[in-house]
Amino acid sequence: MSRRDDEIQEEIAAHLALAIADKMARGATRAEAERAARAEFGNVTHVAEVTREVRRGVWLERLGQDLRYGWRALRRTPAFTAVATATLALAIGANSAVFTVVNSVLLAPLPFRDPARLYVVSYLPTNLPFEVPPGLDDRLYLEYASHVKRFERVTGYQRQELTLSGAGDATRLPGALVSASFFEVLGVQPALGRAFTHEEDQAGNDRVAILSDRLWRSRFNSDQSILGKTIVLDGITRTIVGVMARGFTFPAASDVWTPLALRLDPRNSFIFPVIGRLRADATPEQARSELEGIALGRPQDPRSAEPRSAARIIPLKDTVVGKTRTSLLVLAGAVLFVLLIACANVANLLLIRAATRRHEMAVRVALGASRGRIARQLLTESVLIALIGGAVGILVAFIGVRALLAMAPAGRIPRIDEVHLDGWVLAFTLAVSLVTGILFGLVPARSGARREPQEALGQGTRLVGGPHHRLRSVFVTAEIALALILLTGAGLMIKSFLLMRSLNTGYDATGVVTMSVNLPSIAYPDAGRIQAFHTALVERLARIPGATRVGAVSFRPMEEVGIMGDFWVEGATPFPHGFSVDKPTVSPGYFAALGIRMLEGRDFTPIDRAGAPGVVVVSEAVAHRLWPNERAVGKRISMQEPPGPNDWLTVIGVVNDVVQDAQLVPHSTIYLPYLQTNTPFFMSQMTFVVRPASGAGQIAPAMQAALRDIDPSVPAQDLRTMDASMMDTIAEPVFQMRLLATFAFLALLLAALGTYGVLAYDVTERTREIGLRMALGATPGTVLRMVLGRTAVLALLGAALGVAGSLALTSVLTKSLFEVKPTDPLTLVAVTVVLLLAALVAGYLPAQRAAGVRALTTLLLHE
């Protein structure tokens, strides 16, 4: 509009300039010429105004007319309007709901100051046997933090869980250890109090804490005078120095922050994530080569045999969003398919409606409406439908987002607390509605306007087939194809889920309940006290009525953490290169409690304690790998490098392999007896496993009571069944499966409705023809077969296209599938059968009606 205004102004200026030049050429002075030209021209503002109105008025006036007319037309056909808008509301709403999540998780900037300049810094060996999150080791971090130039500042942190005691019941809190510069680098400030000082970031001065707004409100009643008060975290009394602003919970869902206060350990290094704020004039590549320079410039650690490390500078957002990106994009794609199917459906409805409005349109053409005007009118109607659908869709999205969040596995989708409907979602919905309206309205509008008036005005003319007939078939075929692709995706996920559920995990989860404890180092500083606690708790748990077997393990299957590593084998047996085993610490009876079978040898007993000969139990895979043709029992290994004479551990038993984590593959494991372990680190976190007798009822409360008996200051964590832990481990694919299944079901329903609608209309349109056939001797059976045959042709064509589409597209699911190929033929066959059946059901009703057509009546009725 304003460009147009400028043009009009310029045109008028040009007119005046030309007039002045003319008059001056004929001898007038400039002043005279200007005055005369202006007088001749008249009121410049007025001319500009009326000219502008020409441009604007026509457009607006026609739009207003079209809208009014469209609205009246829609109200005349309430059934059509209701079905079309409901279809669109569902599809647009589903899209807006998914977009809401995608926008908040993937698109929205992180809620920090200038988040695009925040990067995660990593320098780690590239050939580790397992995946490690990016990070720096403590020595490199200190070196790097004092030399880095490309980053304004860097900061390290480490997620942790802490036990809060002293304020109500003891609970576990998610939190983080952070460098003093943490809040400054992110560009956030405490709402109350202050961030940590550099003095507090030194070991010994670090007994301070900062709380989240959420914790401050829920646990401390929004106490305004909380600064300077103390809390007890993991048995350590800390002074509260700050409360963060509402909504700040980074990293993950932290509720409490304490200083990182690095203590260097001469034997071990500690690796943690490091974030830097890039200088405005630096590039990530410069930062990367600087990091490499600093890392390589250090004196080499002689013990380190890992020369191959990679320096990486990763945008912070990428590490926060992580793997969620792919699954969210898959969902966005799936829900887009639903929208396309809805579009095809509504387009078909419009085509059918256009056919019934032939007469109306013909009259308008005959009265002088141009084709373009009619096309625009029809398009306005379809956009109007889409806009109404979109408006209702916002409501659907509102409910949909809540359902999505309720379904989402806890703690698996990053930034989930930031998910909300906002202006972007509204804008998205509006844009989608407009595009949808144009998309499904375009074809009916074009073909509606093309109709010749004579054809439609001629009374009683019944055309069989024709361009609409073909178009409708194309839309139905496309719908079926799209629905089949979604069904295949859902089918693959369901099959994968069933395989996961029937997976032989190596343990027997039936009824088993587990409870974890984390013993604070203040109260449990040494191995002796920790072992005493474990022994006492195992004994106490065994006395619970209904508990048949009890055991303890440092990390159970389906837990997110674990300890892995290599070891030393006695004798000539070469240690397999790159072989790495799980090293859990267990109590006697653990195998029986979890239903892990002893294949050879014996379980640990209380005799296997400090001072007695060192023993281990290995899993089948370890035995096969190390001693393929020999008995494993009696062989010796060591966890020390190189082993001294007293460091050898004798294999006393072999158990079956157990699935340990979300990869769902059996692990090679070496079990160590907790009574022979002297490192608190391997035991302070312990999970207790109780197998109840069948029909023992709720055993969890008794387990919690048992823990209180032993030490009331230690909270029970993760008190749950083993089966729930398994479900939690596969929560992400299950979430994806549920959503895909929902969308696929919606797609199937829409496609079936679409097929039904088109066939039903076909039958209505062909009633006379069918009646004629009947009169000429066709039986209801032939007519039924004829309509069903047409259904089958459409469905088969759609299915063929859908199978081709599935083969091309389902590879995006590869990472979410367990032991199922994205091209699994069985799944493809199964979903094709389901779809064909649905199509035939949809076609059966109209077919039956066609078969019921009575020969004579139709002929009479229509003449």
Binding site for another protein (CB under 8 A): 7-8, 10-12, 14-15, 17-19, 21-23, 26-28, 32, 36, 41-43, 46-47, 50-51, 53-55, 58
Task: Pick between residue 22 and residue 452 the one whose CB is nearest to another protein.
Answer: 22
Q: How far is CA 92 from CA 119, 166, 420, in A?
A: 36, 50, 17
Task: Pick between residue 48 and residue 457 the one whose CB is nearest to another protein.
Answer: 48
Q: Is 170 left (phi over 0), alpha (psi -120 to 50) or beta?
A: beta
Q: Which amino acid is at 398?
A: F
Length of the chain equals 863
Radius of gyration of the chain (CA): 37
Nearest CA to 722 among 659, 669, 672, 674?
659
**Coil, strand, or helix at residue 820?**
coil
Least separation in angstroms between CB 9 and another protein = 11
Least separation in angstroms between CB 28 and another protein = 6
Least separation in angstroms between CB 22 and another protein = 8
Alpha helices in 42-121 (DSSP H): 44-76, 78-102
Least separation in angstroms between CB 51 and another protein = 4
Beta bridge partners of 155: 275
Task: Pick between residue 10 and residue 539 the one whose CB is nearest to another protein.
Answer: 10
Least separation in angstroms between CB 376 and another protein = 14
Contact 802, 481 (CB under 8 A): yes
Task: Pick between residue 18 and residue 399 the one whose CB is nearest to another protein.
Answer: 18
Least separation in angstroms between CB 7 and another protein = 7
Alpha helices in 149-305 (DSSP H): 182-186, 213-220, 284-296
Exposed e or buried b for every residue in 59-68, given b needs 16+ CB within 10 A? eeeeeeebee
Contact 484, 794 (CB under 8 A): no
Task: Pick between residue 65 and residue 283 the one whose CB is nearest to another protein.
Answer: 65
Give the relative orientation of helices 855-862 and 767-775 as an angle to the nearest 10 degrees.
Answer: 130
Task: Pick between residue 51 and residue 158 the one whose CB is nearest to another protein.
Answer: 51
Side-chain half-sphere CA neighbours of 42 within 13 A: 5
Task: Pick between residue 34 and residue 718 the one whose CB is nearest to another protein.
Answer: 34
Side-chain half-sphere CA neighbours of 400 within 13 A: 25
Instruction: Give the sign of the dihedral formed by CA 312, CA 316, CA 318, CA 324.
Output: positive
Contact 409, 319 (CB under 8 A): no
Task: Pick between residue 42 and residue 611 the one whose CB is nearest to another protein.
Answer: 42
In sequence order, the 6+-apart residues with CB closer than 8 A to the CB of 538 are 550, 551, 552, 587, 589, 688
Task: Pick between residue 22 and residue 306 the one whose CB is nearest to another protein.
Answer: 22
Task: Pick between residue 27 and residue 204 the one whose CB is nearest to another protein.
Answer: 27
Distance (Å, rounded) from C-alpha 647 to C-alpha 636? 10
Contact 423, 429 (CB under 8 A): no
Least separation in angstroms between CB 27 and another protein = 7
Contact 857, 767 (CB under 8 A): no
Tokens 């508990």 belong to: 547
Nearest CA to 766 among 523, 534, 462?
462
Task: Pick between residue 50 and residue 107 the one whose CB is nearest to another protein.
Answer: 50
Least separation in angstroms between CB 370 and another protein = 11
Tokens 């974890």 belong to: 516
**Coil, strand, or helix at residue 460?**
coil
Least separation in angstroms between CB 24 and another protein = 11
Give strand ranges (E) for 752-856: none
Least separation in angstroms between CB 66 and another protein = 16
Task: Pick between residue 28 and residue 536 the one whose CB is nearest to another protein.
Answer: 28
CA 699 to chain CA centroid, Å, is 35
Lookup: tokens for 317:
């957002």
In sequence order, the 6+-apart residues with CB closer than 8 A to the CB of 357 are 73, 448
Return the number of other C-beta atoms located less than 10 Å from residue 830's C-beta: 16
Contact 599, 620 (CB under 8 A): yes
Task: Pick between residue 23 and residue 117 the one whose CB is nearest to another protein.
Answer: 23
Task: Pick between residue 449 and residue 750 the one whose CB is nearest to another protein.
Answer: 449
Task: Pick between residue 35 and residue 207 the one whose CB is nearest to another protein.
Answer: 35
Q: Which amino acid is at 587?
A: S
Least separation in angstroms between CB 10 and another protein = 7
Q: Is 662 left (phi over 0), alpha (psi -120 to 50) or beta?
A: alpha
Tokens 């290994």 belong to: 637
**Coil, strand, or helix at residue 123?**
strand
Task: Pick between residue 30 and residue 323 the one whose CB is nearest to another protein.
Answer: 30
Side-chain half-sphere CA neighbours of 187 within 13 A: 13
In sequence order, the 6+-apart residues with CB closer than 8 A to the CB of 262 are 138, 141, 142, 156, 203, 270
Nearest CA to 429 among 472, 395, 478?
395
Least separation in angstroms between CB 41 and another protein = 5
Least separation in angstroms between CB 58 and another protein = 6
Least separation in angstroms between CB 249 and another protein = 57
Return the number of other C-beta atoms located less than 10 Å from residue 369's C-beta: 15
Least separation in angstroms between CB 847 and another protein = 50
Least separation in angstroms between CB 56 and another protein = 10
Task: Pick between residue 43 and residue 510 the one whose CB is nearest to another protein.
Answer: 43
Least separation in angstroms between CB 364 and another protein = 19
